[in-house]
Amino acid sequence: MEEVIVGVDTGGTFTDFIYKKDGKWRVLKVLSTPENPAEAILKGLREIGGERRRITHGTTVATNALLERKGAKTAFITNKGFEELLLIGRQDRPFLYSLKVKKPEPLVKRELSFGLDCRVNSRGEVTKEIDRKEVEKLSEVLKEKKVESVAVCFLFSFFNPAHEELVKEILESKGFMVSISSQILPEFREYERASTTTVNAYVMPKMKGYISFIEENLQREDTLRIMQSNGGVISSETAKEQPVRTVLSGPAGGVIGAWELGKLAGFERLITFDMGGTSTDVSLVDSRPQITTSFKISGVPVAVPVIDIHTVGAGGGSIAWIDRGGSLRVGPRSAGASPGPICYGKGGKEITITDANLYLGRLDEDFFLGGKMRLRRELLEEPFSKMASELGLTPVELADGILRVANATMERAVRVISIERGYDPKDFSLFTFGGAGGLHAPFLALSLKIPKVIVPRNPGLLSAFGMVMSDVIKDYSITVMKKEEEANPEELQKHLDRLAQRAISEMEEEGFKPEEITFEPSLDVRFEGQSFEISVPFCKNFVEEFKRKHKKLYGYVHDRRIEVVNCRLRVIGRVEKPEVEEFEVRECSLPNEAILKVKKVFFNEEWIETPVVDREKLPAGCSFEGPAVVVEYSSTTLVPPGFNLKIDRFKNLILEVENG
């Protein structure tokens, strides 16, 4: 029997599936089950059916455990005298002039941070041996305090991991889950290394339980892989041991899906715009997704490689409210899947972005989710009238104001990943997806002077599509600290070769032979005296490449010598990917049979007669001018007045400003 390919992405409101069965691609959306996200996944898999399913899953379990601080009771073990490491952190001041800055609470309380009397020096030499009895005595204390999981981070363990490995061996024999920094992040900067290891330990019990629950309810021949934050997938077993690599699992799938489809359609430079039910994620693709190791979630550093994604609390379910100064605000609080927006008719009482779009006619009550879910506009009159009177506005002005405030929030997010990184948005196309993205992307493009907006087929399910398009990817790193005179390519290659040996072994466990693996080596380089590094590809002229990139980012280069800080190795195992259907192009205008109805929609301070168009009936090559509301199963796309819409050979919607 033919293998069934399934991609599944858990969102705040809907859980999305894209699957290939009996040679045909299909899509499915089910309401998420926030109390146990696995229930929605299993419900969808039951609907899909089939045998020998290859399932790739983007999970929010680790993310939500961190955001909601609902992880395991975790202890932290380090060298004696460094027990306050997580508490002290860095002296960053994100709000420079605020007198009331409060640092985020560490994941581990001080009373659960312990120091062992052992030490390795900066050359990896043991200067004080570890005492096995001290570790065993500590294990009894951890049991008394009902600790579930333990993070271990000793100084310079990236040069010599023996002490960490011994602690792991003893504590695991006592029944604890243990994460050690020499396995999670063998790099210098003890705070970031300790923080990342602690995050892994904090979410590990929950992630293990979640994945195991799904596996127990799958069929015997099903396989499960988990999407990582770096744009690749890993086996469920690896994800259980290193869940820190999944903290941006779902959003990363969307970026990969946009990148793959963008390349096919001829767009190599993209700003991805993923607007879902609870948040909006934006990222920049300049020929390939941008990777960073400087990432924080809920104020906690996570230094494993992740796709550079910026998130703001503005999604379809984001709630509009009035602050103490009497100003209209939107988000970050969300109505979620339950009760959801008022118009869902499930008991929601607070106005959301979705409600505002429906109130202005930009969503259509009859064709939401392909007509499977009717939106109830009649429920909006009373709450809109009430809030509008509090602000001294009409209900229409309130709805328009909510959308303008939300757009301003999302525009700032796009500026963070483009202008603040040295890129001009005018040089990119805006690739929008997510259930609500198509309703807002045209307005962002106008504000930022982005020439084109691309809306793929099934935009509400693109993250799930990106998951089935993702390769198995693993990232390895090691701190080397080589001065320029020591950093010759031959010496650096030796370190990379050691990483490659480990990579080959682990990729074989993922099912890949050595000849099926691609290696992408890189170096973290800085000028002497600098505190942070720039990552450049490893090659003979890496110094010149570093200086070129430094000048692009900062506008100058030093005449100082360079240092190579870390060696990195990205290892890729290519998986079989589904083909994207291509259609015959025939030029035409808007077909009459595609128009479902005509209604009034609010644009530019007035109500305009606007066709509601069935996207499924738009052929490749079709083009027409706005306004229009284009509806489909997973999303709605707005074509405002002044925009022209074209359908390309992959049936992407391409929106351009007329005469732009």
Report which of 61, 41, 54, 458 is spatially closest to residue 258, judged by C-alpha positions.
458
* Model pLDDT for residues 492-546, shown as the tens digit of each residue: 999 999 999 999 999 998 889 888 899 999 999 999 999 899 999 999 899 999 9
pLDDT computed for residue 284 by the predictor: 96
Range with the lowest mean pLDDT among 7-21, 123-137, 636-650? 7-21
d(CA 268, CA 652): 15
* Model pLDDT for residues 494-505, shown as the tens digit of each residue: 999 999 999 999
Provide the greatest CA pair distance for the chain. Answer: 81
Residue of 265 and 1 predicted with greater confidence: 265
pLDDT computed for residue 659 by the predictor: 61
Mean pLDDT of the chain: 92
pLDDT bracket for residue 351 (50, 70, 90): very high
pLDDT bracket for residue 207 (50, 70, 90): very high
Predicted TM-score of the model (pTM): 0.89
d(CA 280, CA 414): 10
Average pLDDT (390-401) is 96
pLDDT computed for residue 38 by the predictor: 92
Its CATH class, for the domain covering 67-208, is: alpha beta
pLDDT bracket for residue 660 (50, 70, 90): low
* Model pLDDT for residues 576-602, shown as the tens digit of each residue: 787 888 999 999 999 999 999 999 999
84 has a pLDDT exceeding 90? yes
3 has a pLDDT exceeding 90? no
pLDDT computed for residue 35 by the predictor: 81
**Percent of the chain predicted with pLDDT > 90:** 75
CATH architecture of 472-573: 2-Layer Sandwich (3.30)
pLDDT computed for residue 634 by the predictor: 83
pLDDT bracket for residue 130 (50, 70, 90): very high
d(CA 477, CA 256): 23
Return the DSSP state at 118: -
pLDDT computed for residue 232 by the predictor: 94
Task: Cite the DSSP H helix spans in 528-650.
Answer: 542-554
Range with the lowest mean pLDDT among 190-204, 209-223, 435-449, 568-582? 568-582
d(CA 506, CA 208): 19
pLDDT bracket for residue 25 (50, 70, 90): confident
Residue of 295 and 360 predicted with greater confidence: 360
230 has a pLDDT exceeding 60? yes
Average pLDDT (606-626) is 96
d(CA 207, CA 532): 32
- Neighbour tally for 328: CB within 10 Å: 17
Q: How, if at all, do strands 628-631 and 606-614 pair?
A: parallel
Which residues contact residue 627 at a Cβ distance below 8 angstroms, ignoring those fewer than 6 apart? 601, 603, 608, 610, 611, 639, 640, 641
Cis link prior to 301 (omega < 30° from 0)? no
Average pLDDT (86-95) is 84
Q: 389-397, long-range: CB within 8 Å, 24+ apart, which pairs?
A: 390/322, 391/322, 391/326, 391/328, 395/359, 396/359, 396/360, 396/602
Report domain extents, the chain. 67-208, 335-397, 472-573
Residue labelled with tokens 């020929």: 287
Q: Three-class SS of residue 398? A: helix
Contact 418, 424 (CB under 8 A): yes
* Model pLDDT for residues 454-478, shown as the tens digit of each residue: 999 989 888 889 999 999 999 999 9
Residue labelled with tokens 């981070």: 153
- Sequence length of the chain is 660
Q: Alpha carbon of 429 to those of 412, 526, 614: distances in Å?
A: 17, 32, 24
Average pLDDT (127-136) is 96
pLDDT computed for residue 65 by the predictor: 87
Report which of 70, 139, 148, 192 is spatially closest to residue 566, judged by C-alpha positions.
192
Which residues contact residue 453 at a Cβ distance below 8 angstroms, ignoring those fewer than 6 apart? 429, 430, 432, 441, 442, 445, 653, 654, 655, 656
346 has a pLDDT exceeding 70? yes
pLDDT bracket for residue 340 (50, 70, 90): confident
* Tokens read off for 373: 């879910």
Which residues contact residue 497 at a Cβ distance below 8 angstroms, ignoring those fewer than 6 apart? none
